[in-house]
Homo-oligomer: A and B are copies of this chain.
Amino acid sequence: MLYHRLYPIEFNHCDPAGIVFYPRYFEMTNSVVENFFADEVGMSFAQMHNAGMRNGVPTVHIEADFMAPSRLGDKVAFTLIVRKLGGSSVAVEITGRMGEELRLRARLTLVWIDNMKAARWPEALRAGLAAHLEEAA
């Protein structure tokens, strides 16, 4: 099951060459993950962080390829799929496309944190993540 989000490319994202500055793409990949957790996995970042900061899902590894630039006014369609679900981690792949054109592909590994340490996923979250595993797609 794929998860989708559409991001319009605004002034804020663009550099003097008129294209998306790559740190802004990572603000988008983080936003995709954040909305995915709220909408599909069953726990928002607000629920994780506002309650005394006990939980979180920091990114420990990221790889990204930027195939073609995105410009002011483009609308980039992001898609997230779960590639691998570990005991306390998850690997997701996020792609961004404008029409047929692949603009970027990013792979992120996130870790579930409980009380400052990596911990096993709670069962409810694990089920939410598993529903988006590639082989379940």
Number of this chain's copies in the assembly equals 4
User: What residue of chain B has the Cβ atom nearest to residue A61's Cβ?
Assistant: B65
Main secondary structure of the interface of A (DSSP, over half): mixed
Identify which of residues 17-51 in chain A touch chain B, using a CB-to-CB cut-off of 8 Å: 17-19, 21-24, 26-27, 30-31, 34, 44-47, 49-50
Is A115 positioned at the interface, with any CB of B under 8 Å from its CB?
A: no
Compute how far the CA of A44 lies from the CA of B49 in the bound complex, rounded to whole angstroms: 24
Given known contacts A50-B72, A63-B63, is B16 in contact with A12 (CB within 8 Å)? Answer: no
Of A52-60, A89-97, A127-135, the one touching chain B: A52-60
Identify the A interface with B (CB < 8 A): 10-12, 14-19, 21-24, 26-27, 30-31, 34, 44-47, 49-50, 53, 56, 58-67, 69, 71-73
